Amino acid sequence: MQKEERNPILGKQSIAPNDPVYLVESASVVGKKEGEGPLGNLFDLVGEDDMFGCKSWEEAESCLQREALTCAIQKAGWKKEDARFLFAGDLLGQEIATSFGLEQFDRPLFGLYGACSTCGLSLMLASLIIAGGFAEKAACVTSSHFASAEKEFRFPLGYGNQRPLSATWTVTGSGAFLLAREADCGKRPARAAITGMTPGKIVDFGLKDSMNMGACMAPAAASTIGQHLKDFGRRPVDYDKIITGDLGKVGQTVLLDLLEKDGIDISGRHMDCGIEIYDAEEQDTHAGGSGCGCSAVVLSAYILRMLEEGVWKRVLFAPTGALLSKTSFNEGKAVPGICHCLVLESLQQKKTCGSGTDSLQ
């Protein structure tokens, strides 16, 4: 059916759907520390403690997902049945935060794993399923929890181990996003349009330090962002912001250096969700925030708001993931990275974004 139409396949690894998909509504739920950070006032729900009334950290993380999706659905005035499919994932082994968090929504689930890039992965696949005509509406949910992640990847908190300055702090939070084919199906106008995407490759520079994941993921971010610009025939100046997920300060330096070597200067417009979410000095979070929840809650609370208000017209959202497990780490393997990126456009000016892909021509 689309064979005779404009080809949405772009360059080496990108996709530009013929019609945009709308980010109708979203919600963010975070822990106490995130609530005390610079974006604290912007989140929909801030927990009083990080257990969220549950018996274990894993259950607390499931609760975060449940609350985030419930909140997004309420804000949009949807029923849970309106989301035909769920696209979701988390950082825990076998994705138990998702399985136990989203069970009660009783919706078909596409389980995803892209480490801390999972928010981007979920938005990408949900957009494509909607753009392909296989669903009218769908929801995406991702989460992370500081305590469940430390237990899963590093040391039980009770050990009180020291953290090097390159370490990031896993965000306790979950972001939920409602996507649809039509812009006007929430209580307020859609927050933004998704107009293109570049799924990323596994990129491995051989780095082995699980306490410096920013540096491990930066090469993947450089690879996907560089390829995205080539595939779309764009320059960094075509984006108001190029936003990575959780590289932190160390990873940011590596990313800017790597891209500069390829003649791409994004220094004036790079932003990292992990750097934004905490006041690193005041909050002792070292290199910045990380986790699936980091980019998800910053997207929901801050990035979409800036697009909604028309402050930014078009951004590249590029969450990054570190593909390690405690088993691979203990067996001496490197920490490869992956980065998936999406083009998000403001709906403030019809001219720019009415058809979503006008600007791609």
Give the separation between CA 348 and CA 170, rounded to whole angstroms: 33
- What is the nearest approach in angstroms of a second copy to the Cβ of residue 21? 12
HSE-CB at 341 with a 13 A cutoff on CA atoms is: 28
Nearer to a second copy by C-beta: 99 or 267? 99
Largest separation between any pair of C-alpha atoms in the chain: 62
Contact 303, 88 (CB under 8 A): no
| DSSP calls for 224-286 | HHHHHHHHHT--GGG-SEEEESS-HHHHHHHHHHHHHHTT---TTTEEEHHHHHS-HHHHT-T
The residue among 197 and 280 lying less far from a second copy, judged by its C-beta, is 197
Q: Considering only residues 22, 43, 85, 177, which one is a binding residue for a second copy as defined by CB under 8 A?
A: 85
Which residues within the stretch 31-70 sit at the binding site for a second copy (CB under 8 A)? 55-56, 58-59
In the set 51, 96, 211, 360, which binds a second copy (CB under 8 A)?
96
Residues near 128 by beta carbon (within 8 Å), at least 6 away in sequence:
15, 17, 197
Residue with the two structure tokens 């927990």: 47
Nearest approach, Cβ of residue 51 and a second copy (Å)? 14
Give the 3-state secondary structure of residue 104.
Answer: helix
Among residues 27, 83, 115, 216, the one that binds a second copy under rule CB under 8 A: 115
Which of 74, 94, 161, 349 is close enough to bind a second copy by CB under 8 A?
94
Where in 121-160 is the site for a second copy (CB under 8 A)?
Answer: 121, 124-125, 128-129, 131-136, 152
Q: How far is CA 166 from CA 124, 216, 273, in A?
A: 30, 11, 16
Task: Give the closest residue to 82 by CA, choosing from 138, 27, 25, 39.
Answer: 138
Query: Any contact of residue 351 with a second copy (CB under 8 A)?
Result: no
**Positive or negative torsion for Cα 64, 67, 72, 73:** positive
Binding mask 305-344 for a second copy (x = CB under 8 A): ------------------xxxxxx--x-x--x-x------
Of 17, 31, 47, 248, the residue at the interface with a second copy (CB under 8 A) is: 17
| Residue 248-287 contact track with a second copy, rule CB under 8 A, x = bound | ----------------------------------------
> How far is residue 21 from each of residues 8, 259, 340, 354, measured CA to CA in Å?
13, 29, 17, 11
Q: Which residues bind a second copy (CB under 8 A)?
A: 1-3, 5, 7-9, 13, 15, 17-19, 55-56, 58-59, 84-85, 89, 91-96, 99-100, 102-103, 106-115, 121, 124-125, 128-129, 131-136, 152, 198-202, 204, 323-328, 331, 333, 336, 338
